[in-house]
Structure 1
């Protein structure tokens, strides 16, 4: 009976270790880990980047990180897709002026 209990404990520990990686939050650097947020030559760069990365992002768990040059760029959170799509920043929800913005 003691051997059976030990096996149950070991299986439980292994299962917990396996699932730990599934629920661990990640920082996802927008544009890639090497660079900083900046205007790109390709106007669709960030659209393509988001398309390629949206499949593994977990919105309520992961954090988007914007690395940018302080004093040159800012990051703003707007209230709707219409405001985002039209670049309307007259009423931002929040503005980050120092990097990294999370």
Structure 2
């Protein structure tokens, strides 16, 4: 009986691990503060630097409709806070944007002077999650920030629960 239980545990762990590899992550932009004007102009830059983004992940922008929005733009529009080549606009909050291709993706709030005051975000998207850090070319600053900590995937917790249940 113990051998069967152990076999079921290992098979479920392998299955859950494989499921975990294909699941995309949802990133709530700005964490608990959401998508809003921050007192620190580099807040979103620091937030992104602590995360890894891969193709298939989703950015969730939590904001109040009419107070903020999200526009995805080119690098030159991002740098100048202009809208000459808008890729996509989201005027209703919350907005969820799927990261569909590798490389840098540029977002900002186009309401008033929000972009100029720092409500802007660039994320470096990798093709897979093998990278260990976000690489934000030309947009990283040295500065603190807190570590997101080590997160335990739900698949690992499920495997543990299954194993405990079997015993």
- After superposition, what is the alpha-carbon deviation per residue over 1:18-75, rounded to whole angstroms, capped at 9, x for unaligned? 221122111101100x22211100111111111111xx321x1211111111101110
SS in 2 for 1:88: coil
* CA deviation map 1:71-92 (0-9, x unaligned): 01110011x2111111111331
Equivalent pair of 2:34/2:62 in contact (CA under 8 Å): yes
- The structural deviation recorded for 1:13 is 5.0
Mapping for residues 69-80 of structure 1, pairs under 5 Å: 69-78=64-73, 80=74
Q: Any idea what SS the aligned residue of 1:68 has? A: coil
- 1:14 shift after superposition: 3.9
Q: 2:43 maps to which residue?
A: 45
C-alpha contact 1:36 1:69 (8 A) present in aligned 2: no
> Normalising by structure 1, what TM-score?
0.76
Residue 56 (structure 2) pairs with residue 57 (structure 1): no
Query: When the two structures are aligned, how many residues end up with a matched partner?
Result: 91
- The alignment's C-alpha RMSD in Å is 2.1
| Counterparts of 2:21 and 2:47, CA distance in 1 | 23
Unaligned segments of structure 2, at least 5 residues: 97-167
Cross-structure match for 1:97: 91
Structure richer in helix, relative to its length: 1
Tell me the distance in 2 between the aligned counterparts of 1:91 and 1:82: 9
For residues 64 and 34 of structure 2, the distance between their equivalents in structure 1, rounded to whole angstroms, comes to: 7
- Which structure has the greater CA radius of gyration? 1
CA distance in structure 2 between the aligned counterparts of 1:66 and 1:84, rounded to whole angstroms: 17
Q: Distance in 2 between matches of 1:36 and 1:29?
A: 7
Provide the residue aligned with 1:23 in structure 2.
22
- 1:49 and 1:65 map into 2 onto residues whose CA distance is 13
